[in-house]
């Protein structure tokens, strides 16, 4: 498939924003790369890049061509997967963009389960916030998205929705741990650590707090849910997370409780793909497995 090399070079230049940096990434000389790009542009009949003082960027013609290449690449992977199925050995590659909550437990279990049956399939897991994840679909950087409270849902085909209530995470000896019902006002009155506002959990918290004439004012704000889970052990504060990213510790040191729906509406964890795209076989089958697994979490 040597004819695809030119497209890979164009994609590398677009990603790097510079002929020189792209050449370094591809381990070739900048002059050789420039000659290949210039020759392709001459044969194609149009320039693909705007030449800028600090580098290059795709022009509209280049963006159209790169979209065509990514569509063609996706179709080729789908056919390769179908041929592998005909030969009785599933192969292929699955790329998924996901929220951080998927990392500790859910996705490792699901990927390992899939690969136990199909060891020829490889995976890329891209950790993204809810806006970035949707962008991954439109650029074909990811086949699937599994994200909490996506932002736009443009060109987004929903495959499954799993309701997820926001939970208060705390040490077992925190005063709120003994309450039968956790109210949002009690969480916000106590010292708390919260995710930054680009995450779905924070979006729901801010919305509910404003409705109650309150504010989310964390002592620590972070982009890491792992930091939240660990930090509550050190300062005995309240953290926030969705159930799929939590698991009871054997020693009972950390507990988590759903915040009352009187204060905070249940959010949605959504599995999706780009609307109208036919996924490669491996990705489509993995999406089916995820949908079945998410039904369990949606019922909890």
- Residue-level pLDDT at 298: 57
- Domain spanning 90-163+272-298, CATH class: alpha beta
CATH no., domain 167-265: 3.40.190.10
- Residue-level pLDDT at 182: 94
- Residue-level pLDDT at 173: 92
What does pTM read for this prediction?
0.71
Q: Along the chain (300 residues), what's the average pLDDT of each consecutive run of 10 residues?
A: 72 84 84 84 84 83 78 69 57 89 94 93 91 85 91 85 94 91 94 93 94 92 93 94 83 87 93 89 92 76
| All CATH 1.10.10.10 domain ranges in the chain, comma separated | 2-64
Which of 226, 253, 257, 248 shows the shortest CA–CA distance to 103? 226
Architecture (CATH level 2) of domain 2-64: Orthogonal Bundle (1.10)
Please name the residue ranges forming H helices in the chain. Answer: 5-16, 19-26, 30-44, 60-86, 106-117, 130-138, 184-189, 200-211, 225-235, 281-298
- Residue-level pLDDT at 148: 92
- Residue-level pLDDT at 253: 86
- Residue 40: helix, strand or coil by DSSP? helix
| All CATH 3.40.190.10 domain ranges in the chain, comma separated | 90-163+272-298, 167-265
């Amino acid at each position: 498939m040597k004819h695809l090399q030119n497209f890979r070079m164009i994609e590398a230049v677009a990603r790097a924003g510079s002929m020189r940096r792209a050449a370094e990434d591809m381990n070739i000389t900048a002059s050789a790369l420039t000659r290949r790009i210039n020759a392709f542009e001459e044969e194609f009949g149009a320039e693909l890049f705007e030449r800028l003082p600090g580098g290059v960027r795709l022009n509209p013609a280049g963006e159209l061509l790169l979209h065509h290449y990514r569509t063609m690449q996706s179709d080729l992977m789908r056919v390769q997967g179908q041929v592998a199925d005909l030969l009785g050995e599933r192969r292929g590659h699955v790329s998924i963009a996901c929220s951080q909550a998927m990392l500790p437990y859910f996705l490792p279990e699901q990927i390992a389960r899939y690969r136990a049956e199909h060891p020829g399939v490889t995976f890329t897991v891209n950790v993204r916030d809810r806006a970035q994840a949707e962008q991954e679909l439109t650029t074909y950087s990811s086949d699937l998205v599994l994200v909490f409270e996506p932002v736009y849902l443009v060109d987004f085909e929903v495959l499954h929705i799993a309701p997820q209530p926001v939970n208060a995470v705390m040490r077992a000896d925190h005063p709120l741990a003994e309450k039968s019902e956790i109210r949002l006002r009690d969480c916000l009155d106590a010292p708390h650590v919260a995710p930054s506002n680009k995450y779905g959990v924070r979006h729901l918290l801010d919305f509910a707090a404003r409705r109650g004439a309150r504010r989310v004012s964390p002592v620590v704000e972070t982009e890491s849910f792992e930091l939240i889970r660990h930090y509550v052990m050190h300062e005995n504060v309240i953290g926030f997370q969705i159930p799929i990213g939590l698991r009871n510790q054997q020693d009972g040191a950390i507990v988590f409780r759903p915040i009352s729906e009187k204060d905070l509406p249940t959010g949605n964890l959504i599995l999706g793909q780009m609307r109208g795209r036919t996924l490669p076989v491996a990705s489509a089958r993995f999406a089916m497995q995820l949908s079945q697994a998410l039904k369990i979490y949606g019922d909890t």
